[in-house]
Chain A
Amino acid sequence: MEWNTFAVACFAVLGAGIGILTGLGPALGQGYAAGKGVEAVGRQPEAHGKIMTTMVIGQAIAETTGIYALVICFLLVGLARQLVG
């Protein structure tokens, strides 16, 4: 294999690994939302259902940035596989 191709494949995989660190952001956000949800349920146990739905939908939207990073990582790994063959 040519050196350039090898280097590109290497750095693509490395980039995918680094890109997954984006998970830090959504994890913090979702944890914060879950904590606030627990607080809200503690304060108002009868509104449990509504709080749960709102919290989960909010978390799913907060997850979006992490999912973008995941898609980019998949693309990078796919590129590396294509180059290595």
Chain B
Amino acid sequence: MDSIMETPKIYFQLGPFAVDETIVALWVIGGIMIVAGIILSRNFKWLPTGRQNAVEAFVEAIDSAVSFVMGESRRFFTPLIATLIVLLFLANTAGLWSFGILDPPTADINMTLGLGIFSFLLINGYAIKSHGLWGYIKGFFSPIFLLAPLNIVGELAKPVSLGVRLFGNVLSGVVIGALIYNAAPFLIPIPIHIYFDLFSGAIQTLVFTMLTMVFIAMAMD
């Protein structure tokens, strides 16, 4: 990305949809996730060794985080949260592991707002599922009916805040990285990559998934 806020480059047109850099990067990430999933989960044994140990440690870490944040009875969210974590981490660090061929797809507001809307649907879907439609609507009028507009705006602000937070963080990393590459292209960008891609990417992954978990758990209680 050589200029600030450049729209992603469009490769070709697929029916009514324009296939741009973001979508291609997401195809690559999806392919990596599928292939890694197949390779890593092949022929598990009862006594785990090597690769299986690593996979089990990863799954167990996420499982314990989910049951700690959302409660023991909601551990069925673990696959969803694990997928979100892997997807977001790969997306945030896309500039690093693809050696600059791909831009991070999360530097596109369409992707992050899409994820925000996905979280929004999950939050409200599970709120309706656990309280019933009437209880869900009544929830907006608590503690007093005068607060209904505030509650509704607060609910609508959740996907926007989730999406824009991720977008802004990743975009700022990309822009600062481009500035540094213009100023000092040799050796200096390495610590910048470590901070903006690895550290910031991991933190934003954690924040997005953590907030999604907390919002869903709050909506279900």
Task: With both chains docked as a complex, state the minimum distance between the C-beta of A73 and any C-beta of chain B, in angstroms.
Answer: 10
Task: With both chains docked as a complex, state the minimum distance between the C-beta of B56 and any C-beta of chain A, in angstroms.
Answer: 21
Count, chain A residues at interface, CB 8 A: 15
- Known contacts A74-B5, A81-B4; is-contact A60 B168 (Cβ 8 Å): no
- Please determine whether A57 and B207 come into contact, CB atoms closer than 8 angstroms: yes
Contact indicator per residue, chain B 169-185, by CB within 8 Å of chain A (1) or not (0): 10110010000000000
Question: Is there a chain B Cβ closer than 8 Å to A78's Cβ?
Answer: yes
- Please determine whether B4 and A67 come into contact, CB atoms closer than 8 angstroms: no
Question: Is there a chain B Cβ closer than 8 Å to A71's Cβ?
Answer: yes
- Known contacts A75-B5, A78-B5; is-contact A56 B169 (Cβ 8 Å): no
- Please determine whether B210 and A57 come into contact, CB atoms closer than 8 angstroms: yes
Question: Is there a chain A Cβ closer than 8 Å to B92's Cβ?
Answer: no
Give Cα distance in the complex from A64 to B208, angstroms: 12
Question: Is there a chain B Cβ closer than 8 Å to A61's Cβ?
Answer: yes
Contact indicator per residue, chain A 57-78, by CB within 8 Å of chain B (1) or not (0): 1001101100110110011011
* List of A residues within 8 angstroms of B210 by Cβ: 57
- Say whether chain B's binding surface is mostly helix, strand, loop, or mixed: helix
Question: Is there a chain A Cβ closer than 8 Å to B206's Cβ?
Answer: yes
Question: Is there a chain A Cβ closer than 8 Å to B106's Cβ?
Answer: no
- Please determine whether A60 and B4 come into contact, CB atoms closer than 8 angstroms: no
- Please determine whether B171 and A71 come into contact, CB atoms closer than 8 angstroms: yes
Partner among A57, A64, A70 whose Cβ is within 8 Å of the Cβ of B172: A70
- Please determine whether A74 and B4 come into contact, CB atoms closer than 8 angstroms: yes
Task: With both chains docked as a complex, state the minimum distance between the C-beta of A20 and any C-beta of chain B, in angstroms.
Answer: 11
List A residues 29-78 near B (Cβ within 8 Å): 56-57, 60-61, 63-64, 67-68, 70-71, 74-75, 77-78
* List of B residues within 8 angstroms of A75 by Cβ: 5
24 contacts between A and B (CB under 8 A): A56-B203, A57-B206, A57-B210, A60-B203, A60-B206, A60-B207, A61-B211, A63-B169, A64-B161, A64-B165, A67-B165, A67-B168, A67-B169, A67-B172, A68-B164, A70-B172, A71-B164, A71-B168, A71-B171, A74-B4, A74-B5, A78-B4, A78-B5, A81-B3
Q: Which residues of A contact B (CB under 8 A)?
A: 56-57, 60-61, 63-64, 67-68, 70-71, 74-75, 77-78, 81
